[in-house]
């Protein structure tokens, strides 16, 4: 029964109001409308209202994990609240099969002056667990949370990490059919994050998951489906995670470039050369890349170091080339220097990167000039992988006959 | 797996269009909220008294001090109270304790819902649990204050009339009245801060137009206040059952009780239906 549809969302819309006073007044009107069974709150927007979600349709089956991504304020949390039944849709329908669990702001309802153990019971009940369920899982909750002997101290003495761990440990005991996860994994140290992923993996086998996150590597790793929301509308939905993530990035402005340094060097020209010639901004995967640089360095700098690097859209340095790592001598007399650096078989994952060039002095490590994210470079290819570096590899495949196998 | 999963459907249409489904859901939520209500009740109680020095003494102090104040005022002839039909301290103390039951019940829905705002916008739990937890607190407060009553009755050697067996019913009606009005206020009180401010003011004024520390005036226009005040017959009758055994407003008591039984159902319905709307307006 892995094909069972657990969540069906059709044409879902929800309005919010920018003005607080009006919002409250509309709230009262909506209640009155509901009491008189009239839908005063029709498909039209009233003054100061906007669509927090507009005509969203989705379907999710058991075993699927949907990555819900989008800029801040795009309606992701509103969507989770609607699916969780906390608020009512203004248009469209949501149909959920089975129990909904939510990992949203863990530890909601913790009382600071009660002990961790007491709070387990309270929080468990809030999440819909019965007393017997909590009691049978008490030990595994305490163990998972790694709180140990502090479980009988008041929660106000816990660190924020401890509170989140305890909250997650309780919530992870739910046995939901639909699980909503909202950014909770952003907190906690690496060790705990790994445990959380493990728990989510375990739940995902028998549930449908919606994961809201801004951490794209995480989304790419767990999600089988992507929905990109922008200003309340679905911008992309599909099973191609890298494509979804690319669409997400396209919603943001380009990285601002930044030029810094102490002025003792000057970069005159940065040029990329590839199969299509000089001055390219697009490189085909595994083509050769040549970086041309024209620079002047103050003659008092005897031992300059030149390097360039590629930044991912997540603003992480994913590839680097540096003269000092390979003891390349750059002889400087103060004259103009022309540098040509060849990188054969350029094998970054197809996608968009930002190119940066820097000049330092080897002695005191001061930055002479740095051009950070000067321009964007696209790598094109017939695929988009998960990791920033994609080896092609030389593959050798031979068929092994059963008789040749030593242990069989 | 196939048989287990019940389906939930959320649509924009009014829940009143499907009354059977709505009533079923209200009943199920009420049933499912019992355990959570108990946990919340215990949590609130522990939280209230754990960080205090005097602990449960705080439940006794206010009614005792208020009673002493009124007895003092009366004995100094600063105000002259007419015939109360029982020793004045007994009259005041029973009145204050019963009034406190009503006020506790009146404040409890809004107080609990407001203090759980952060939970309302994050977790889907049966909203009725908050009301039940509040009800538990009201009962608990009254039960521990009974100790004062017992001490008082022993001191003044009051012979308990047989009507004492009706007192729980009277208490129930005071609580019902309080919860009903409290529930009606929740949707407004969550949206507008004015309600909670106003409630404090109104209850303190209401105290003086209810026969708590002095009996109802019998002539116009003073008696109008008591006649229009639905809490007066409830309180007066319960006190009479408790002390004298002779009721003076029994018919009014029954009429008001019937009304509140109908109104509490309506108030619950309003609360249940209004909650998702309120959640989307207070959501951060």
CATH number of the CATH domain containing A34:
3.40.50.300
* B128 pLDDT above the threshold of 70: yes
**What does the pLDDT look like over A283-302, one tens digit per residue?**
999 999 999 999 999 998 88
Model confidence at A217, in pLDDT bands (50, 70, 90)? confident
Question: Which among A41, A87, A108 is the nearest to B279, CB-wise?
Answer: A87
* A20 pLDDT above the threshold of 90: no
Same domain? For A167 and A281 the reply is no
| Neighboring chain B residues of A38 at a CB cutoff of 8 Å | 14
> A88, A163, A177: which to substitute to probe chain B, counting the most B Cβ within 10 Å?
A88
pLDDT at B116: 87
| Neighboring chain B residues of A85 at a CB cutoff of 8 Å | 8, 10, 124, 276
Same domain? For A204 and A343 the reply is no
> A4, A87, A99: which to substitute to probe chain B, counting the most B Cβ within 10 Å?
A87
Closest-CA distance of chain A to residue B260, Å:
20
Assess contact for B68 and B92: CB atoms under 8 A.
Answer: no
pLDDT at B2: 42
pLDDT at A171: 82
A394 by DSSP, 3-state: which?
Answer: coil
Bridge partner list, A361: A304
Assess contact for B252 and B230: CB atoms under 8 A.
Answer: no
Classify residue A37 as left (phi > 0), alpha (psi -120 to 50) or beta: left
**What does the pLDDT look like over A145-180, one tens digit per residue?**
888 889 999 888 888 888 888 888 888 888 888 988
User: Which among A278, A309, A275 is positioned nearest to A292, based on CA atoms?
Assistant: A278
Average pLDDT value for residue range B219-240: 83
Q: Which residues contact A142 (CB under 8 A, 6 or more apart)?
A: A116, A117, A120, A148, A151, A169
* A132 pLDDT above the threshold of 80: yes
> B39, B52, B121: which to substitute to probe chain A, counting the most A Cβ within 10 Å?
B39
**Nearest residue of A to residue B121, measured between CA atoms:** A86
Same domain? For A211 and A280 the reply is no
* A403 pLDDT above the threshold of 80: no
Assess contact for A297 and A359: CB atoms under 8 A.
Answer: yes
**What does the pLDDT look like over A27-39, one tens digit per residue?**
888 888 888 877 6
Question: Does any CB of chain A come closer than 8 Å to the CB of residue B187?
Answer: yes
Average pLDDT value for residue range B256-275: 94
> A109, A120, A182: which to substitute to probe chain B, counting the most B Cβ within 10 Å?
A109
Whether A327 is in a domain gets the answer yes
Bridge partner list, A371: A259, A357
Average pLDDT value for residue range B109-121: 89
* B1 pLDDT above the threshold of 70: no
Contact B281 A24 (CB under 8 A): yes
Whether A278 is in a domain gets the answer yes
Question: Does any CB of chain A come closer than 8 Å to the CB of residue B123?
Answer: yes
Question: Does any CB of chain A come closer than 8 Å to the CB of residue B3?
Answer: no
Same domain? For A11 and A138 the reply is yes
Model confidence at A372, in pLDDT bands (50, 70, 90)? very high
Q: Longest Cα pair distance anywhere in chain A, in angstroms?
A: 87
Model confidence at A408, in pLDDT bands (50, 70, 90)? very low
pLDDT at A29: 87
| Neighboring chain B residues of A126 at a CB cutoff of 8 Å | 36, 39, 119, 123, 125
Instruction: Give percent above pLDDT 70 in chain B.
Output: 97
Model confidence at A40, in pLDDT bands (50, 70, 90)? low
Contact A100 B273 (CB under 8 A): no
Closest-CA distance of chain A to residue B197, Å:
17
The ipTM assigned to this model is 0.83
* A206 pLDDT above the threshold of 90: no
> A19, A125, A184: which to substitute to probe chain B, counting the most B Cβ within 10 Å?
A125
Whether A277 is in a domain gets the answer yes
Instruction: Tell me what the pLDDT averaged over chain B comes to.
Output: 87
Count Cα atoms within 13 angstroms, Cβ side, for A347: 8
Range from A181-190, A327-336, A376-385 carrying the lowest mean pLDDT: A181-190
pLDDT at B134: 94
**Number of domains forming the structure of chain A:** 2
**More confident site: B94 or A182:** B94
Contact A125 B279 (CB under 8 A): no
| Neighboring chain A residues of B191 at a CB cutoff of 8 Å | 24, 27-28
pLDDT at A404: 59
Same domain? For A279 and A197 the reply is no
* B223 pLDDT above the threshold of 80: no
Instruction: Give percent above pLDDT 90 in chain A.
Output: 36
Average pLDDT value for residue range B175-189: 94
Contact A37 B1 (CB under 8 A): no
Average pLDDT value for residue range A222-248: 88
Whether A176 is in a domain gets the answer yes
pLDDT at B216: 74
Q: Which residues contact A350 (CB under 8 A, 6 or more apart)?
A: A285, A378, A379, A380, A381, A382, A383, A384, A385, A390
pLDDT at B4: 53
Average pLDDT value for residue range A378-390: 87
User: Which among B154, B165, B116, B138 is positioned nearest to B59, based on CA atoms?
Assistant: B138
Out of A215, A248, A267, a domain closes at: A215
* A379 φ, ψ (degrees, to nearest 5): -105, 125
Question: Which among A87, A92, A131 is the nearest to B35, CB-wise?
Answer: A131
Bridge partner list, A233: A230
pLDDT at B177: 96
Geometric angle at alpha carbon A26, from A24 and A28, rounded to 5° = 75
**More confident site: A270 or B47:** A270
Model confidence at B179, in pLDDT bands (50, 70, 90)? very high
Whether A388 is in a domain gets the answer no
Contact A88 B277 (CB under 8 A): yes
pLDDT at B213: 83
Same domain? For A106 and A47 the reply is yes
Closest-CA distance of chain B to residue A168, Å:
14
Average pLDDT value for residue range A56-74: 90
Residue B210: exposure state from Cβ atoms within 10 A (0-12, 13-18, ≥19): buried
Q: At what angle do helices B19-50 and B128-155 cross, to 10 degrees?
A: 50
Out of A195, A215, A235, a domain closes at: A215
Average pLDDT value for residue range A188-199: 79
Contact A109 B121 (CB under 8 A): no
Question: Which among B10, B35, B123 is the nearest to A89, CB-wise?
Answer: B10
Output the CA–CA distances (angstroms, integers) from residue B16 to A333, B22, B110, in the order listed.
87, 7, 24
CATH number at residue A303: 2.70.50.60
| Neighboring chain B residues of A128 at a CB cutoff of 8 Å | 32, 125
Q: Longest Cα pair distance anywhere in chain B, in angstroms?
A: 78
pLDDT at B165: 93
* B284 pLDDT above the threshold of 70: no
Model confidence at A184, in pLDDT bands (50, 70, 90)? low
User: Which among A39, A81, A40, A12 is positioned nearest to B280, based on CA atoms?
Assistant: A81
User: Which among A408, A403, A352, A342 is positioned nearest to A379, based on CA atoms?
Assistant: A352
* B51 pLDDT above the threshold of 80: no
Contact B187 A31 (CB under 8 A): yes
Classify residue B283 as left (phi > 0), alpha (psi -120 to 50) or beta: beta
Same domain? For A174 and A289 the reply is no
Model confidence at A401, in pLDDT bands (50, 70, 90)? confident
| Owning domain of residue A85 | 5-63+80-215
Average pLDDT value for residue range A59-87: 90
Geometric angle at alpha carbon A8, from A215 and B273, rounded to 5° = 100
pLDDT at B176: 96
Same domain? For A182 and A305 the reply is no
Whether A369 is in a domain gets the answer yes
Does the CA dihedral A192-A198-A204-A210 come out positive or negative?
positive
Closest-CA distance of chain A to residue B80, Å:
47
């Amino acid at each position: 029964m892995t094909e069972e549809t657990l969540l069906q969302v059709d044409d879902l819309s929800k309005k919010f109001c920018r003005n607080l006073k009006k919002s409250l007044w509309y709230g009262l009107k909506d209640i009155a409308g509901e009491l008189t069974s009239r839908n005063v709150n029709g498909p039209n927007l009233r003054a100061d209202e906007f669509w927090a979600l507009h005509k969203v349709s989705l379907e999710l089956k058991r075993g699927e994990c949907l990555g819900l991504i989008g800029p801040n304020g795009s309606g992701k949390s509103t969507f989770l609240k609607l699916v969780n039944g906390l608020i009512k849709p203004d248009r469209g329908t949501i149909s959920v099969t089975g129990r909904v669990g939510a990992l949203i702001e863990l530890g909601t309802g913790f009382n600071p002056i009660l002990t961790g153990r007491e709070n387990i019971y309270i929080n468990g009940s809030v999440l819909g667990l019965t007393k017997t369920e909590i009691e049978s899982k008490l030990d595994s909750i305490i163990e998972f949370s790694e709180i140990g002997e502090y479980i009988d101290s008041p929660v106000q003495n816990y660190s924020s990490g401890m509170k989140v761990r305890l909250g997650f440990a309780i919530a992870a005991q739910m046995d939901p059919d639909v699980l909503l996860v909202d950014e909770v994994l952003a907190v906690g140290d690496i060790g705990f994050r790994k445990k959380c992923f493990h728990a989510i993996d375990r739940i995902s086998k028998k549930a449908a998951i919606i994961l809201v996150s801004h951490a794209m590597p995480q989304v790419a790793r767990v999600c089988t489906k992507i929905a990109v929301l922008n200003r309340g509308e679905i911008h992309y939905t599909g099973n191609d995670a890298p494509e979804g993530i690319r669409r997400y990035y396209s919603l943001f402005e380009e990285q601002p470039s930044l030029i810094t340094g102490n002025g003792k060097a000057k970069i005159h020209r940065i040029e990329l050369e590839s199969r299509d010639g000089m001055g390219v901004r697009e490189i085909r995967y595994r083509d050769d890349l040549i970086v041309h640089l024209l620079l002047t360095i103050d003659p008092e700098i005897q031992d300059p170091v030149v390097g360039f690097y590629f930044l991912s859209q997540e603003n992480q340095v994913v590839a680097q080339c540096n003269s000092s790592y390979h003891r390349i001598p750059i002889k400087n007399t103060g004259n103009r220097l022309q540098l040509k650096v060849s990188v054969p078989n350029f094998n970054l994952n197809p996608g968009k990167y930002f190119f940066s060039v820097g000049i330092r002095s080897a002695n005191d490590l001061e930055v002479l000039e740095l051009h950070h994210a000067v321009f964007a470079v696209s790598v094109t290819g017939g695929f988009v992988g998960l990791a920033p570096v994609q080896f092609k590899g030389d593959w050798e495949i031979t068929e092994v006959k059963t008789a040749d196998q030593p242990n069989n | 797996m196939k048989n287990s999963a019940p389906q939930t459907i959320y649509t924009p249409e009014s829940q009143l269009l499907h009354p059977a489904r709505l009533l079923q859901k209200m009943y199920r939520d009420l049933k499912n909220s019992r355990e959570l209500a108990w946990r919340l009740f215990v949590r609130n109680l522990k939280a209230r008294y754990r960080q205090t020095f005097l602990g449960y003494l705080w439940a006794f102090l206010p009614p005792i001090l208020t009673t002493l104040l009124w007895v003092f005022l009366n004995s100094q002839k600063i105000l002259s109270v007419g015939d109360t039909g029982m020793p004045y301290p007994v009259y005041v103390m029973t009145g204050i304790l019963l009034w406190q039951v009503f006020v506790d019940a009146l404040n409890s829905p809004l107080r609990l819902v407001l203090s759980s705002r952060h939970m309302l916008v994050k977790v889907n739990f049966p909203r009725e649990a908050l009301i039940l937890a509040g009800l538990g607190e009201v009962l608990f407060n009254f039960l521990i204050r009974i100790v004062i009553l017992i001490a008082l009755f022993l001191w003044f050697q009051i012979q308990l009339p047989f009507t004492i067996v009706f007192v729980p019913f009277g208490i129930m009606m005071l609580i019902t009245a309080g919860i009903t009005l409290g529930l009606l206020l929740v949707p407004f009180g969550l949206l507008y801060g004015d309600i909670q401010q106003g409630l404090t003011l109104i209850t303190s004024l209401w105290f003086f137009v209810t026969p708590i520390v002095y009996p109802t005036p019998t002539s116009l226009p003073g008696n109008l206040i008591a006649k229009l005040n639905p809490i007066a017959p409830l309180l007066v009758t319960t006190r009479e059952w408790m002390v004298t055994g002779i009721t003076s407003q029994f018919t009014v008591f029954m009429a008001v009780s019937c009304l509140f039984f109908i109104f509490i159902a309506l108030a619950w319905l309003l609360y249940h239906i209004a909650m998702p709307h309120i959640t989307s307006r207070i959501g951060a």
